[in-house]
């Protein structure tokens, strides 16, 4: 087996110089670093993360905590975070909280405390006070994407403003009967459904549009529940809204499919807007507010590694880093039907 001594001998440098060149830490001349990398590649030498960890006290791994894995947003953030970590020489350890209370409990009470990672990224977690205490007790830097956790640094988009922006777009086209397909407050993303409903209400109030309870439906951020909610909203022709704002693109796609099944054309008879810029949004011509989950994953890694490398990226582990979002207007929105 090729060892670091073989690389040092082949490159004509010390073992310490090889270690600095391969880790990227410490001062090494560019031409020396290139020679070391070339020899390591030719010999097939791979740095041992275990050995590096013993020397540095670091594992060169980051833990990513997700509520579950069957949602587009989570997997988009996760994939981008993994790519950014690998590019920076870090491994990723995944902690999936899906699968019931027992698994969730074991993650917070045992797995997070094993010291196998240098820091954590938590994606849209709802945590109880005991779990918050557990996260703090880990004693490692943590960046939260989406849902805020008390005392920890959060990278987040403004859910209220995104929903307000989408609803305001519909109102600016002349719509007065704008329905909401929101999320259930009982979902794991507890903070987000309420905030997006608040943004919807703010936009209507600003425009002088009365809030109508009959135009409010709940879904679970899936195409199926968006379809079911829109079917209920559109069932009575005399009470139909002229526009639907869905709190996620998947529910908005479900609304478009429901409208088509009822013989309604989008946007001639019904305008639909969502949030996410999901991979299906362009295919359905969906107007949406893009929140760039992949960019959120990459930025979360940047913030965390800045702290791990001693650059003070998340001072004291607290605070919030806002993430940008944009309204993207496509063909699913237009003026209300004449006479409506």
Length of the chain: 340
User: Does residue 206 register a pLDDT over 80?
Assistant: yes
Best CA proximity match to 250, nearest among 279, 217, 292: 279
Tokens 């997997």, residue located = 75
Of 79-93, 202-216, 223-237, 275-289, which range is least confident? Answer: 79-93
Please tell me whether residue 50 adopts helix, strand or coil conformation: helix
Give this prediction's pTM: 0.81
Domains 4-47 and 159-290 in one fold: no
pLDDT in tens, 143-183: 999 877 888 899 999 999 999 999 999 999 999 999 999 98
Q: What is the pLDDT of residues 5-25, one digit of tens each?
A: 888 899 999 888 887 787 666
pLDDT value, residue 88: 86
pLDDT tens, position by position, 27-43: 788 888 889 889 888 88
Model confidence at 55: pLDDT above 60 = no
Q: Which CATH number fits domain 61-157+293-309: 3.40.50.2300, 3.30.390.50, 3.40.50.720, 3.50.50.60?
A: 3.40.50.2300
- Pull the structure tokens for residue 161: 């403003």
Q: Quick one: CATH architecture of 159-290?
A: 3-Layer(aba) Sandwich (3.40)
Query: For the chain, which residues make up each domain, given as ranges?
Result: 4-47, 61-157+293-309, 159-290
Strand order in the sheet with 320-322: 91-96, 61-66, 119-123, 142-145, 153-156, 320-322
pLDDT of residue 242 exceeding 80: yes
CATH code assigned to 4-47: 1.10.260.40
* Average pLDDT over every residue of 108-126: 89
Contact 245, 179 (CB under 8 A): yes
Cα radius of gyration rounded to whole Å, the chain: 25
On the CB side of 287, CA atoms within 13 Å amount to: 25
């Amino acid at each position: 087996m090729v060892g670091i001594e073989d690389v040092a001998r082949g490159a004509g440098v010390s073992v310490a110089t090889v270690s600095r060149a391969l880790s990227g830490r410490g001062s090494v001349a560019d031409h020396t670093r290139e020679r070391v990398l070339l020899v390591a590649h030719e010999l097939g030498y791979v740095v041992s993360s275990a050995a590096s960890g013993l020397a540095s006290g670091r594992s060169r791994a980051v833990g990513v905590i997700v509520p579950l894995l069957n949602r587009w947003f989570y997997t988009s953030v996760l994939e981008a975070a993994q790519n950014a970590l690998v590019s920076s020489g870090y491994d990723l350890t995944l902690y999936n909280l899906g699968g019931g209370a027992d698994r969730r409990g074991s993650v917070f009470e045992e797995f997070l405390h094993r010291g196998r990672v240098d820091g954590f990224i938590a994606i849209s977690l709802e945590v109880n006070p005991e779990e918050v205490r557990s996260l703090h007790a880990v004693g490692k830097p943590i960046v939260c994407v989406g849902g805020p956790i008390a005392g920890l640094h959060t990278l987040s988009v403004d859910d209220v403003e995104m929903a307000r922006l989408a609803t305001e777009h519909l109102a600016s086209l002349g719509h007065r009967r704008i329905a909401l397909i929101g999320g259930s407050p009982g979902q794991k993303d507890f903070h987000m459904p309420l905030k997006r409903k608040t943004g919807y209400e703010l936009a209507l109030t600003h425009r002088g549009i009365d809030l109508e309870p009959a135009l409010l439906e709940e879904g679970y951020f899936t195409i199926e529940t968006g379809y079911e909610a829109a079917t209920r909203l559109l069932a009575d022709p005399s009470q139909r809204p002229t526009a639907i704002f869905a709190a996620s693109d998947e529910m908005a796609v479900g609304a478009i499919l429901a409208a088509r099944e009822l013989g309604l054309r989008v946007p001639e008879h019904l305008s639909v807007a969502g949030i996410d810029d999901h991979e299906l949004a362009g295919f359905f011509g969906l107007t949406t507010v893009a929140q760039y989950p992949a960019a959120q994953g990459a930025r979360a890694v940047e913030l965390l590694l800045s702290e791990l490398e001693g650059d003070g990226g998340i001072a004291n582990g607290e605070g919030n880093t806002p993430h940008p979002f944009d309204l993207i207007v496509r063909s699913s929105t237009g003026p209300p039907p004449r006479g409506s």
